[in-house]
A and B are shown apart, each in its own frame.
Chain A
Amino acid sequence: MEFSELIKTATVESVLLSCAGLPPVRGTLCITSHHLLLSSCPGGDGQPGTVELWLLIRNVDAVEKRVQNLGWYQPPRTNDSPRDTRLAGSSGTITLRCKDLKVLQLEIPGMEECLNIASSIEALSSVDSVMMMYPFFYRPQDLRLEEGWHLFPLEQYFQQIAAQTSQWRLSDLNRDFTTCPTYPADVIVPAAVSDDTLRRAARFRQGGRFPVLSYYHPRNGTVMLRSSQPLTGPNRKRCPEDEVLLGTVLDEGERGFIIDTRSAQAAKQARMTGGGTEPKSSYPQWKRLHRPLERGRPLQESFIKLVEACNDASLSMDRWLSRLESCRWLSHVKAALSTACLAAQCLDREEASVLVHGAEGTDTTLLVTALAQVILDPGCRTVVGFQGLLEREWIEAGHPFHLRCARSAYSHARLKQEAPLFLLFLDCVWQLSRQFPFSLEFGESLLLTLFDNAYASDYGTFLCNNEKERCLCKVKENTHSLWAWLNQPEEKKKYLNPLYSHNPLVIWPSVEPQSIQLWQGLFFRWIRPSQYLDEARAEMQRLVEGNEAPAKESAGSRLSRSLSDPAARTENER
């Protein structure tokens, strides 16, 4: 496929770009394979205009077009009115709703141009082939391709554990991705259990996701494991190897907890389709706790409804609160935080090991294990530690980013497997950062950047669904890593929390509804005026750093910066 086939009209003159909170600009619109550009009209002396918009087309979630054929209404015909002025008077408006929740409007002269542009954007934004995506074409000058891809080898994480206990080993039994197609090559497993046993246990778990170590709690040596559901099925099948594997984790007389992220009812029903849960009789040392967490379609719908409500400026206070309630997003935040806290509490307070799973073990499971680690482990609360956590517990652990983040809240396309679990995780981390404002090294801006990049990115970090696919697509060879870019000193500075000071303790959040807030920085990022809050942030930074010169942020600069930041994007599109 050639991108050029999808581009019917490459440039249109005199297009009006408007966007909430910014004055509209007129300029030349240009579509390339991956970007939509608008440069304002150049000065008379042949100077190039300023680039006002530099939008990754992948970021477009929905395209809405409206054509106004001004000639449609025929004025009383006079003899000398030429018929063909009708078309020249026509124009169209394209509304682009982006995955990062921004909304842009383009007013395009000429109906045909408008329709062409709209259909080109639609086609280009729904290219589904991973290898055709922008990260494979993006070549910034100041980064090397291999940089950032091997920052967090599991080996290194394992060595920290090995320094404290010999009960765990690093196994490469999945090096060819045959035992479990959604696991990485290396996993951490009990030292006493052989690869053979693991392979058999894997056959008893959906998708081969047998229990592996997710987190080792250095304070007391307890561990958090994760897996998918056991394939108990209607006949209550058992698997001795799986029982051995879980049995090995606990010493004699020790008790562990299984946190099932489905309701008891749902877990029971899963038996009908071959799944199920660990029966007490086969796993006597493990106590099961059910904490239902929403995922899949209901979660995506919750996201869509929330964004709809946020964008509806006509709502009364009562309607707003009622829609905030009925979309249930904050309920999901509360439930996710509570469940993660429960897991953390088991480890830290009860000194008991925990196994977390739902059904596939790639969604709510990872939400809980990753969040519990932010709560427990101060190491995960640094910029680099957080990246390592995302790499280990989301990317390598096989959260299907490609499926889950294919579409965001605006898309009219039929929902397939989209669900904002990663966003829910980021929201929960934001809640933690609000309740513990000194304990996270990074601020809201990092969470926003991660959200943006998970849905549309110049970098390959969030491409594909698992390590196997990443190998096949040679993602690590042919795209740049987001971490390499984020960790450049100049860039990293933007994401730091000026109030940070290392907090070695577990951070137990409050999960009372009064303590949980809507993440306005994300859901109202493009809607609420940010000038005063930006100024407050700069003032805070100034105060903390004792720096006398106030950092001036001009109004609305945030939007224009992210709209028109061609800094690193030179002529690398081909």
Chain B
Amino acid sequence: MEHITTPKVENVKLLDRYTNRKAANGTLYLTATHLIYVDASSEVRKETWILHHHIASVEKLPLTTAGCPLLIHCKNFHVAHFVIGQERDCHEVYTSLLKLSQPVKPEELYAFSYNPKMSKDNREIGWKLIDLKVDYQRMGIPNDYWEITDVNKDYEVCNTYPPEIVVPRAANKATVIGSSRFRSRGRIPVLSYLYKENNAAICRCSQPLSGFSARCLEDEQMLQAIREANPGCAFMYVVDTRPKLNAMANRAAGKGYENEDNYDNIRFKFIGIENIHVMRNSLQKLLEVCETKSPSMSDFLTGLENSGWLRHIKAVMDAGVFLAKAVKDENASVLVHCSDGWDRTAQVCSLASLLLDPFYRTFKGFMVLIEKEWIAMGHKFSHRCGHLDGDPKEVSPVFTQFIECVWQLMQQFPCTFEFNERFLLEIHDHVYSCQFGNFLGTCHKEREDLKIFEKTHSLWPFLLQKKQELRNPLYKGFTAYKELQPNTLPFSFQFWCGMYNRFDKGMHPKQCVLDHLLSCMSQKMKLEDNASELENKLPFLDGPLPSEACSLSKVGSAASKTPMLNTPQDYEGEPPPVLTNGISVGNIDVMSDVDQKNKENLCNHQDLHDLNDTNVLDSEAREGEPQCH
């Protein structure tokens, strides 16, 4: 709170980037967690909420006659352009936001103050919702070839790996320790996914410290053990996801890649996915294109091409497809690494699992996948997402790219995912929101040190409660599709307007098929529910879940097929002399879905104290309320 000098500024305009509508006029509030803008000019109270943690940058633009412009870019690609009457006010808001959006100490993160008034038990149950051991069991591990070992329980092998890892039974402790000395940051080869049908495994690690000629017997034994854990195939792939040039350059620093001559029966392959810096710049260029005001078609397509973004998405997808094919079609195990094995490796391994195993395409499975391949294996969310004031060169949209790959798959296989696009967006929002503990820190050890599991809440139970609105109405069930073989020709990749221009509602289809189908579905389910009322009285299996009926009615009301009012945009290119653009409420709504929920929450929050634990859990799932209301 000490950062907030001016909690309320009146006479603030919010500009709409894409139309020449009269700017809204209203009041801006700063709370401990959010910036809130209340539009006073329209009849219906309209609010825009921006979480401080979502703010990527704040810019003060040169003074204009209308006032002092303040441009805010958010990590969820929301762009808000305010004009504040007084320069002094603007400056104070600006300085406050700079500090609020870049906390220095982890304890300042939202998750540590977020209090949904949930019982301690429920909070703990929430953290136990995802158990990776269960997923290994699902793969049949432990078995004759693989075991779950606690060799890393004191983080002696690798401090960025979790305490429990899956390694070949044939690899004894000496092999593991030896191999860890030969791998960058001790990130030894461990199992990521076992394809039960043929015993082919996907394993992951970091680059070897091979330099130009170094060898390590234990590391060679380790790879041999992995290969021999799949007796159906005489060779294994070792995939370096970096461009060959980058990998070669690393040799000079004593790192590098596996020499095929030193390892028995490996097939070594480079898959050129660019590094985090290239990806960061690519996204930057993409966002510039998305933000251009009224670009021509050529400007847009040229910008899209020059950003390279879809090229990188395709590269990640191609790599995932390669892995899945090797496992499924060639019965071969694959060992994947990049440099440290926590960025590209995480993308590629999780994507391959998603292609091979329909479980990961369910709600629960997708959560497991993120917990396993990203959180547990030490993807540095804190650095990549810039949770704290830190090195901007560490920030990179690696996880965003993975989420986009999943979305691209959804476009090609509309019936194969249990969840819909909104689920992806929710997860993406919360990776940056720091409201839940899951994505804080950089690795398991750090999360333990931060006491995440004692002090914060897990995201997953909150998402499961919203299952009804996040589900895919076209999902044909767990058994309808097994492996996916996506088309990776360039045309199969589309620009994801729903992510990068998500807050420019005017660009999206004016009628929402998803809402309509969800309401069809909820109606149908209501009927079925009535029919099987008795069965419904049985307790839920998945921990604390809300009553289905409650969420259903919410979806039902939100999803209406009534054609919404629609106003023409400016088709002239410049403000026409006589043509006016009427504004209509309900058409362009700058609030995100999350913000909508906040608003609901704001109205409801008086009642919350009276509710019992389980109900509180349900209402609070919508998002936290600001602290100063």
Task: Please report A residues at the B interface, Cβ cutoff 8 Å.
Answer: 255, 310, 313, 315-322, 324-325, 328, 330-331, 333-334, 338-339, 341-342, 344-346, 348-350, 434-439, 499, 501, 503-518, 520, 524, 528-529, 532-533, 535-536, 539-540, 543-544, 546
B64 within 8 A of A: no
B413 engages A511 (CB within 8 Å):
no
Report which of B415, B495, B509 forms a contact with A434, defined as CB distance below 8 A.
Answer: B509
A321 engages B305 (CB within 8 Å):
yes
Mark the stretch among B21-29, B149-157, B248-256, B567-575 that contacts chain A.
Answer: B567-575
- Residue of B295, B489, B494, B510 most packed against chain A (CB within 10 A): B510
Residues of B within 8 A of A520 (CB): 491
Measured in the bound complex, the distance between the Cα atoms of B492 and A529 in whole Å is 11
B311 engages A346 (CB within 8 Å):
no
Task: Please report B residues at the A interface, Cβ cutoff 8 Å.
Answer: 18, 290, 294-302, 304-305, 308, 310-311, 314, 412-416, 473-474, 476, 487, 489-495, 497, 501, 504, 506-511, 513, 516-517, 520-521, 524, 561, 563, 565-569, 571-572, 578-580, 582
Residues of A within 8 A of B566 (CB): 505-508
For the complex formed, measure the closest distance between the CB of B261 and the CB atoms of chain A, giving whole angstroms. 32
Known: A513-B296, A514-B290, A515-B497. A528 touches B511 (CB 8 A): no
A532 engages B569 (CB within 8 Å):
no
A331 engages B296 (CB within 8 Å):
yes
B301 engages A325 (CB within 8 Å):
yes
Measured in the bound complex, the distance between the Cα atoms of B414 and A210 in whole Å is 51
Residues of B within 8 A of A344 (CB): 568
- Residue of B494, B501, B569 most packed against chain A (CB within 10 A): B569
Known: A439-B511, A511-B569, A516-B297. A533 touches B18 (CB 8 A): no
B487 engages A546 (CB within 8 Å):
no
Measured in the bound complex, the distance between the Cα atoms of B511 and A437 in whole Å is 6
Known: A318-B305, A507-B566, A508-B566. A518 touches B476 (CB 8 A): no
Measured in the bound complex, the distance between the Cα atoms of B472 and A535 in whole Å is 14
B300 engages A338 (CB within 8 Å):
no
Measured in the bound complex, the distance between the Cα atoms of B295 and A330 in whole Å is 13
A529 engages B487 (CB within 8 Å):
yes
B301 engages A515 (CB within 8 Å):
no
- Interface residues of B: mostly helix, strand, loop or mixed? loop
Residues of A within 8 A of B487 (CB): 528-529
For the complex formed, measure the closest distance between the CB of B241 and the CB atoms of chain A, giving whole angstroms. 17
Measured in the bound complex, the distance between the Cα atoms of B587 and A509 in whole Å is 12
Report which of B304, B563, B568, B569 forms a contact with A439, defined as CB distance below 8 A.
Answer: B563
Known pairs A342-B572, A436-B510, A546-B520. 12 more at Cβ < 8 A? A255-B578, A316-B311, A325-B301, A348-B568, A499-B516, A514-B495, A514-B501, A514-B504, A515-B507, A515-B508, A529-B487, A544-B517
For the complex formed, measure the closest distance between the CB of B516 and the CB atoms of chain A, giving whole angstroms. 7
- Residue of B490, B494, B508 most packed against chain A (CB within 10 A): B490
Closest to A535 in B: B415
3 closest A-B pairs by CB: A513-B300, A320-B490, A536-B414
A438 engages B295 (CB within 8 Å):
no
Known: A334-B297, A507-B510. A518 touches B491 (CB 8 A): yes
Residues of B within 8 A of A532 (CB): 412-416
Residues of A within 8 A of B524 (CB): 543, 546
Residues of A within 8 A of B582 (CB): 349
B490 engages A536 (CB within 8 Å):
no
Measured in the bound complex, the distance between the Cα atoms of B308 and A176 in whole Å is 60
For the complex formed, measure the closest distance between the CB of B419 and the CB atoms of chain A, giving whole angstroms. 15
For the complex formed, measure the closest distance between the CB of B490 and the CB atoms of chain A, giving whole angstroms. 4
A513 engages B297 (CB within 8 Å):
yes
Measured in the bound complex, the distance between the Cα atoms of B411 and A518 in whole Å is 14
B311 engages A517 (CB within 8 Å):
no
The 14 sampled A-B contact pairs (Cβ below 8 Å) are A315-B489, A317-B311, A321-B301, A321-B304, A324-B301, A325-B301, A435-B511, A439-B511, A499-B516, A505-B565, A510-B569, A511-B569, A512-B504, A544-B520
Measured in the bound complex, the distance between the Cα atoms of B510 and A504 in whole Å is 14
Closest to A325 in B: B301
A438 engages B563 (CB within 8 Å):
yes
Closest to A339 in B: B571
Measured in the bound complex, the distance between the Cα atoms of B612 and A110 in whole Å is 85
For the complex formed, measure the closest distance between the CB of A518 and the CB atoms of chain B, giving whole angstroms. 7
A543 engages B18 (CB within 8 Å):
no
Residues of B within 8 A of A438 (CB): 511, 513, 516, 561, 563
Residues of B within 8 A of A328 (CB): 297-298
B561 engages A540 (CB within 8 Å):
no
- Residue of A325, A346, A437 most packed against chain B (CB within 10 A): A325
Closest to B524 in A: A546
For the complex formed, measure the closest distance between the CB of B406 and the CB atoms of chain A, giving whole angstroms. 15
Report which of A331, A346, A518 forms a contact with B298, defined as CB distance below 8 A.
Answer: A331
Known: A315-B490, A434-B509, A508-B569. A322 touches B305 (CB 8 A): yes
Residues of B within 8 A of A505 (CB): 563, 565-566
Residues of A within 8 A of B510 (CB): 435-436, 507-510
Report which of B18, B414, B516 forms a contact with A512, defined as CB distance below 8 A.
Answer: B18
A349 engages B579 (CB within 8 Å):
yes
For the complex formed, measure the closest distance between the CB of B361 and the CB atoms of chain A, giving whole angstroms. 13
Measured in the bound complex, the distance between the Cα atoms of B287 and A514 in whole Å is 12
Residues of A within 8 A of B297 (CB): 325, 328, 330-331, 333-334, 513, 516
Residues of B within 8 A of A533 (CB): 414
For the complex formed, measure the closest distance between the CB of B380 and the CB atoms of chain A, giving whole angstroms. 28
B509 engages A436 (CB within 8 Å):
yes
Residues of B within 8 A of A319 (CB): 490
Residues of B within 8 A of A341 (CB): 568, 571
Measured in the bound complex, the distance between the Cα atoms of B549 and A304 in whole Å is 54
Report which of A313, A504, A516, A543 forms a contact with B520, defined as CB distance below 8 A.
Answer: A543
A535 engages B476 (CB within 8 Å):
yes
Measured in the bound complex, the distance between the Cα atoms of B295 and A100 in whole Å is 32
B491 engages A524 (CB within 8 Å):
yes
Report which of A313, A509, A543 forms a contact with B473, defined as CB distance below 8 A.
Answer: A543
Measured in the bound complex, the distance between the Cα atoms of B473 and A540 in whole Å is 8
Report which of A318, A334, A499, A503 forms a contact with B311, defined as CB distance below 8 A.
Answer: A318
Measured in the bound complex, the distance between the Cα atoms of B305 and A434 in whole Å is 24
B565 engages A501 (CB within 8 Å):
no
Known: A331-B297, A533-B414. A345 touches B579 (CB 8 A): yes
Report which of B298, B305, B568, B580 forms a contact with A508, defined as CB distance below 8 A.
Answer: B568
Report which of A342, A436, A540 forms a contact with B517, defined as CB distance below 8 A.
Answer: A540
Report which of A325, A512, A529 forms a contact with B294, defined as CB distance below 8 A.
Answer: A512
Report which of A317, A504, A529 forms a contact with B493, defined as CB distance below 8 A.
Answer: A317
A512 engages B301 (CB within 8 Å):
no
Residues of A within 8 A of B299 (CB): 513
Residues of A within 8 A of B520 (CB): 543-544, 546
B415 engages A321 (CB within 8 Å):
no
- Residue of A346, A438, A510, A535 most packed against chain B (CB within 10 A): A510
Residues of B within 8 A of A320 (CB): 490-491
Measured in the bound complex, the distance between the Cα atoms of B561 and A324 in whole Å is 34
Residues of A within 8 A of B568 (CB): 341, 344-345, 348-349, 506, 508
For the complex formed, measure the closest distance between the CB of A348 and the CB atoms of chain B, giving whole angstroms. 8
Residues of B within 8 A of A507 (CB): 510, 566
Residues of A within 8 A of B501 (CB): 514
B490 engages A342 (CB within 8 Å):
no
Measured in the bound complex, the distance between the Cα atoms of B509 and A505 in whole Å is 15
Residues of B within 8 A of A439 (CB): 511, 563
Measured in the bound complex, the distance between the Cα atoms of B305 and A504 in whole Å is 39
Residues of A within 8 A of B290 (CB): 514
Measured in the bound complex, the distance between the Cα atoms of B446 and A431 in whole Å is 50
Measured in the bound complex, the distance between the Cα atoms of B568 and A350 in whole Å is 12
Residues of A within 8 A of B18 (CB): 512
Known: A341-B568, A505-B566, A539-B474. A436 touches B511 (CB 8 A): yes
Residues of B within 8 A of A338 (CB): 571
A350 engages B578 (CB within 8 Å):
yes
A313 engages B517 (CB within 8 Å):
no
Measured in the bound complex, the distance between the Cα atoms of B295 and A3 in whole Å is 54
